[in-house]
Amino acid sequence: MKAILPLTNLPRVVIIGGGFGGIKLAQGLKKAPFQVVMLDRHNYHTFQPLLYQVSTGGLEPDSIAFPLRKMFAGQDNFIFRIAEVSAVDPAGQVIQTSIGEIEYDYLVIATGSKTNYFGLKEVEAHAMGMKTIPESLNLRSLILQHFEQAHQETDVDDKHLLMKFVVVGGGPTGVETAGALAELKRHVLPNDYPELDLRQMEIHLVEAGDQLLGNMTDKSSEDSLAALEKLGVHVWLDTRVTGYDGRVVTTDKTDLQFDAATLIWAAGIMGNVPEGLPKSAFDRGTRLAVDAYNRVIDHPRIFAIGDAALMRAEAAWPNGHPQVAPAAMQQGTLLAANLINLHKGAPLKPFVYFDKGSMATIGRNKAVMDFGALHLKGLIAWLGWMFVHLLFLIGMRNRLVVLTNWIWSYFTYDKGNRLIIRPYQKNLPEETPAVPATSPV
C-alpha cells in the first residue's frame, strides 16, 4: 500500500524527523523546486534541552513543544504526516511506514538519537529515561507518587528508599537533573510534604568517567562538581552502574551500591536509525557514516544529519561532531542549500561546524559556560544559559511562558507544575519485582 500524498512533478525530498536538523532543512527548502515531505511519530517538535525541567515540575510540556503543521503553515511545498518509519529500501528508493510505502528522490534521515543502555537489559527495564515528553511526564509522576507513597509508608527503610534518587550520567542532562532535584529538596518539597523528614532524601550522581561534563573544560567540570556538592548531591566519579532491579543499584565497585526507588538514566545516547541500510553504512554501530556533504557513504540519494550522522571529513572533528542542537541545525541549513545546488548541477559546499560553545546549569544562579578560551560561571553564566535557551525555543508564546515560569520560580522559590496527571507504572517482565506506584483513588 502506498501512502496518500499529493501528486507532483517535482523531485520529492523525504525528511524523517521533526527535530532541530529536520526543521532547518525543511525551512531552507521553502522556495526550492522540491516537494518536501516530513514524517514524525509526533505532530510536534520537542525542545529536548528543557525536558529535565518538565520531569522535575518546572515547566509544562506544551511550553517546550511546538506543532509542526503550525510551524510550516504557508509553506506551499511542505507536507507533514504522522508516521512511524520501519525500513528504508535504498535500491527501490522507497521507505516503509505505518501509513504505507513512500517513494523518494532524496531521503534525509534526521531521526536524532535514543537512550543507550549499553546492553544493560535489567537497567533498561527499570530505569527512567528522559528523551521524550511522555517519558518526562512519566518521570514527573513517578517522583511525586513516591513522595505520596512515602507519606503512607510505615517501614522506615522503605520510606527512605522512596526518597532516594540515583542519576546516571555526568553530562549536561545528568548534571542539570541532579541540580533540579536538589533545588526541589531545598525549596519546594518541604512546603508540600511538611510531615516528611526530607533530610532522608538523597540524590546521587554517578559518572563512569573521571570528571563531570566531559566535553567541557576542566574548569567547568570542577565548578559544576563544587556546585552540586554544595547543593547536597553525592557525586561518584569513575563509577559504572552495572545493574538495577528496581530497588538496588549495583556498580563496578564491589563495596558500592545504592538502595533507591528511582534510577534516572542520562548516561548515553545512540543513533536512532530505521532498518534497511547495510552495516557498511554505519560508523560506531548506530550512527550513519556521512561524507562532507552529509551523504551516507555509498548511498548518493540518502543523507543523514544531526545525532543520526557521524562525519569524519572535517579535520577539526576527526571523531565526528558533538550530538547537540547547533550541529544538527547547521547541517540542516547547509544541506538545504546543497540539495538546491544538486538540483541545479552546481558544486556542493562541504560542512564546516561553527562551535558556539557549551553550557550547563546546576541550579539557581549556578551555571558554567565555555566559549573558546572564555570560561564563565555563576550568575552571569546562568543568565547566559537562560538567554540562549529562550532564543532557541520555537514560538513567541513558548518563550513568554517559559520566561514567566522562570521568573515566578526565581522570586517565589516554587515550581508550579507538580501534577500527577496520570499515575505511572512501568511495564516490567513478569518475574521482576518493583516498588509499587501509588494507585489512583
> So which residues are the catalytic ones?
176
Exposed (0-12), middle (13-18) or buried (19+): which is 362, by Cβ within 10 Å? buried
- Identify the residue whose cell numbers are 509553506: 75
Torsion sign across C-alpha atoms 110, 116, 121, 125? negative
Cα–Cα distance, 290 to 309 (Å, whole number): 6
- Judged by DSSP in three states, 102 sits in strand
Question: What is the signed CA dihedral for 360, 240, 180, 189, rounded to 10 degrees?
Answer: -170
Cα–Cα distance, 181 to 203 (Å, whole number): 7
105 and 12 Cβ atoms separated by less than 8 Å: yes
Cα–Cα distance, 220 to 333 (Å, whole number): 30
Edge-to-edge order in the sheet of strand 248-251: 241-244, 248-251, 257-259
Cα–Cα distance, 396 to 384 (Å, whole number): 19
**What 8-state DSSP symbol labels residue 76?**
T
295-296/299-304 β-pairing = antiparallel
Longest CA–CA span in the chain (Å) reads: 74
Cα–Cα distance, 168 to 125 (Å, whole number): 15
For residue 360, what are the β-bridge partners? 368
Strands (E), 110-186: 113-115, 164-168
Closest C-alpha to 369, from 224, 242, 226, 245? 224
